[in-house]
Amino acid sequence: MTESNHDVAAPPHTDLTWISYGEFGKRFFVEAVTTDRIAAAVEGMAGKGIKIGPIGLGPGGLAGFVAEGSVGKPTISKHAGDDVAFDLLVPASLSVVLRLGQEVRIQVGIEIRLALHARAAEPLRIVIDIPQISHRDVALVVRAEALGAAWQWLLEPMGEVIRREVANRINLMTGEAESLRGRVFDIAARIDDTPEDTSLKFKWMTYNDFGAKFYRTAVTEERIASAVEDLDGRQIEIGPLKAGPKGIADVNATGKVGKPLVSRRGTGDFVVIDLRIPVSLDLVISLRRDNHYAANIEIPLVLTAKAADYLLIVVDVPAPGAEDIEIDLSAKGLSATVLSMVGGIKGEIAQQVASVVAEELADPSGRIVDVAERIQSA
C-alpha cells in the first residue's frame, strides 16, 4: 500500500471547512509526493556501475589508481521543516587498486547526499527536482588499515579525485532523460486521460498557481455537461396543486427536462459555471372544465467549485428560490381567460419546482471528490 502523508478523514458533508485553491495546491503536493513514490522514481540508480581511471597521482604520474564499483539502494527521508523536500542518501562502494611500484587493493565506501524538492511546472506537472551536487556532497570511508606509511600520502589526493568523479557521475545519472522522465508526473494528462507531456523543459509555477490551474483543469463545462446529461429527457410530474382564490382550481402537469445548458463565467477567485435546466410541461388547470397550457420553465443554477479540508473538491450549488425560477405560460385553445382567474399559478409552480430542486440538492455527496483518497489509490 502506498504511503500517505495524511490519514484521510473527510469531514461530514454538512460541516465542510473551506480552504483556498492555493492551500489545496500545497496539500496536493504533500499528499502526492511521498517517500514511497520518490523511492520508485529513483530506484533505477541502484546497481549502476562506476569506473574511475586509471588516474595518475603525484609528480609525473609516479603513482596512480583505478577504481570500480556500483551504486547501492538509495534511502529517502523527509527534510526537516519542509513537507515537500526530501533528503536522498545514495550509497556506493568501490574497489580501488593503488599503484606505487607495486599494487595494493583497498575498499572505499561512499555516501552521496542529495536534496530533492517537489516543484510545480506548467501546464500541470509535478517534478521531483534534484539539483546538481559537488564533491563536497560526497563522503568517503576508506578501509586502508593495512597500508604502510609509504602509501598514506596517496589517500588524500585519491579521495579528492574520487569525490569529484563520483559527483560528476551522479549528476549525469540524475540528469539523464530517462531518469528525469521518471521523476515527472503529468497531472493534467491523468485528469484528461490524454498522452503525457514528455518535454523536459520546465516553466515553474507556485503551489498556489498549481492549485488554481488544477481546478480549472478538473472542473470544466464539458465535465459538468457530462455529469448532468442524464437529466435530458427525464420525465416530470407535478400536482395535483390547488391554485387560485380559495384553491378553486386543480393543477396537474406532466412533461420532461430538456438538455441542460452549461456556460463558464470569466476568470475570478473561483471556477464558476452557470447551469440552466429547461423544463417543458403540459399544464391542465381544472376549473369547471380542463384548460390546457404549455409551460416553459428554466431553472438557473450557479455551480462553484470550492476546496475543502482536507483535500476535497466540492461543487457547491445553492438551491434557487421560487423567485429565481423562470416560467412562461401560454394557453392552448381559447381558454386564456382562465389564466387571469388563477393568476397565482406561476408562483405555485415556481414554489413546487424550487422545492423539488432543493430536495435534489440537499445531499452534496455526489458533488464531492476526495482527492486524497484518489491519490492514495493511484
pLDDT digits (tens, 9 = 90+) for 72-127: 999 999 888 888 889 999 999 999 998 887 888 888 999 999 989 999 999 999 99
Q: Assess whether 242 and 310 both reside in one domain.
A: yes
Q: Do residues 20 and 207 lie in contact, with contact meaning Cβ atoms separated by under 8 Å?
A: no
Q: Assess whether 354 and 311 both reside in one domain.
A: yes
Q: What is the DSSP letter of 320?
A: P
Cell numbers for 372: 486524497
Whole-number pLDDT of residue 324:
93
CA distances from 131 to 29, 39, 138, 311 (A): 19, 17, 14, 29
pLDDT over 60 (residue 13): no
Whole-number pLDDT of residue 1:
34
Q: Assess whether 278 and 158 both reside in one domain.
A: no
Q: Which of 34-38, 64-68, 142-146 has the lowest mean pLDDT?
A: 142-146
Q: Do residues 277 and 260 lie in contact, with contact meaning Cβ atoms separated by under 8 Å?
A: yes
Q: For residues 86 and 38, what is the distance between their CA atoms, to the nearest angstrom?
A: 9
- Decide which of 211, 241, 258 is a domain's last residue: 211
Cell numbers for 16: 465542510
Q: For residues 264 and 249, what is the distance between their CA atoms, to the nearest angstrom?
A: 41
Q: What is the mean pLDDT of the segment spanning 331-353?
A: 68
Q: For residues 130 and 4, what is the distance between their CA atoms, to the nearest angstrom?
A: 22
Instruction: For 305-321, write each residue's pLDDT tens digit.
Output: 999 988 999 999 999 99
Q: Assess whether 169 and 281 both reside in one domain.
A: no
3-class secondary structure, 3: coil
Q: Assess whether 143 and 287 both reside in one domain.
A: no
3-class secondary structure, 309: coil
Q: Assess whether 302 and 176 both reside in one domain.
A: no
Whole-number pLDDT of residue 145:
62
In a domain, 1, yes or no: no
In a domain, 20, yes or no: no
Domain CATH code at residue 341: 3.15.10
Q: Assess whether 289 and 190 both reside in one domain.
A: no
In a domain, 290, yes or no: yes
Domain count, the chain: 2
Residue with cell 574511475: 52
Cell numbers for 247: 384553491
Q: Do residues 278 and 258 lie in contact, with contact meaning Cβ atoms separated by under 8 Å?
A: yes
Q: Which of 39-43, 301-305, 342-346 has the lowest mean pLDDT?
A: 342-346
Locate the DSSP E strands across the chain: 18-19, 49-57, 63-71, 75-78, 85-100, 102-121, 125-129, 138-143, 184-186, 204-205, 235-243, 249-257, 261-264, 271-287, 289-308, 312-316, 326-331, 368-370
In a domain, 77, yes or no: yes
In a domain, 4, yes or no: no
Q: Give one DSSP letter per residue of 209-272, joined into a string.
A: HHHHHHHHHHS-HHHHHHHHGGGTT-EEEEEEEEESGGG-EEEEEEEEE---EEEE--SSSSEE
Q: Assess whether 37 and 79 both reside in one domain.
A: yes
Q: Assess whether 155 and 246 both reside in one domain.
A: no
Q: Assess whether 60 and 166 both reside in one domain.
A: yes
Residue type at 101 in one-letter notation: G
- Decide which of 211, 229, 247 is a domain's last residue: 211
**Residues near 61 by beta carbon (within 8 Å), at least 6 away in sequence:** none
Q: In terms of Cα–Cα distance, which of 83, 45, 352 is closest to 182? A: 45
Q: Assess whether 226 and 162 both reside in one domain.
A: no
What is the domain extent for residue 311? 220-377
| Burial class of residue 369 in the structure, from the number of CB atoms within 10 Å of its CB (0-12 exposed, 13-18 middle, 19+ buried) | middle
Whole-number pLDDT of residue 331:
78
In a domain, 11, yes or no: no
pLDDT over 60 (residue 170): yes
Residue type at 177 in one-letter notation: A
- Decide which of 211, 240, 272 is a domain's last residue: 211
In a domain, 176, yes or no: yes
Q: Assess whether 203 and 153 both reside in one domain.
A: yes
3-class secondary structure, 336: coil
Residue type at 2 in one-letter notation: T
In a domain, 346, yes or no: yes
